[in-house]
Amino acid sequence: MKTAIYPGSFDPVTNGHLDIIQRASKMFDKLVVVVLINPLKSYSFTIPERCEFLRKATADIPNVEIASFDGLLADYFNQRQDVDVIVKGLRATSDFEYEFQMAHTNKDLNPRAETVFIPASLKTTFVSSSMVKQVAMFGGDLSKYVPACIHEEIRTKLTHDFDEAKALAEARTHE
Ligand code: PNS
């Protein structure tokens, strides 16, 4: 039995992530999608929210497990003795340098942790979580970028946060 792990921030999961999940879940017996933290990034959604979005978006894929971990991917890989390989999606050329660096760092930290890359499909290669968040904040159409089952939750939270931030900025200009 071959098990792969698909790590990411998933803040939030997009159709690009879902495309990789669908394709990887056909290549391996089991796919563990793990929500991790990049301590240099700030996130819009909590880890439980991001896991719940992933659970909803992958509810129809039986061999997918959703997990989260607060630490190094190399350490999580070490703890999960059932996991054989790391899977990452690669969009156009923009991801290459960063992903290449991460794959080598993970292997350096844990020699068992090999990474395989799946090219993003042409339809989703330009889609990113940060782009999705901007579209949502300004009330744009999310339907092509995010699984339908989580549109409303994403839109509600992001427009609420955005309205609060604008109100705060407005209040500060009048201080
Ligand atoms: O979706 P992202 O933001 O590109 O995912 C990056 C993520 C969260 C997978 C990466 O930052 C990560 O693995 N974080 C956990 C800490 C770690 O192991 N970093 C890589 C070695 S420097």
Pocket of ligand 1 from Cβ distances under 6 Å: 7-9, 36-38, 72-74, 102, 105
Question: What's the confidence (pLDDT) of residue 126?
Answer: 93
Question: What's the confidence (pLDDT) of residue 66?
Answer: 98
Expressed in angstroms and rounded, the spacing between residue 37 Cα and the centre of ligand 1 is: 6
Catalytic sites, residue numbers = 17, 41, 91, 129
**CATH hierarchy code of domain 3-125:** 3.40.50.620
Q: Determine contact, residues 145/57, Cβ cutoff 8 Å.
A: no
Question: What's the confidence (pLDDT) of residue 92?
Answer: 82
Expressed in angstroms and rounded, the spacing between residue 119 Cα and the centre of ligand 1 is: 18
Mean pLDDT per 10-residue interval, the chain, length 175 residues: 97 98 98 97 96 98 98 96 96 89 98 97 94 91 94 89 77 77
How far apart (Å, rounded) are the C-alpha atoms in residues 24 and 105? 22
Pocket test for ligand 1, best of 5, 6, 9, 77 (most atoms within 8 A of CB): 9
Helices (H), 28-175: 47-57, 73-79, 96-109, 129-137, 151-173
Q: Domain ranges in the chain?
A: 3-125
- Classified as helix, coil or strand, 23 is helix
The residue behind tokens 């609060």 is 164
Model's pTM, two decimal places? 0.94
Question: What's the confidence (pLDDT) of residue 162?
Answer: 74
Question: What's the confidence (pLDDT) of residue 50?
Answer: 98
Q: Which atom of ligand 1 is nearest to the CA of 41?
A: 3
Q: Determine contact, residues 24/9, Cβ cutoff 8 Å.
A: no
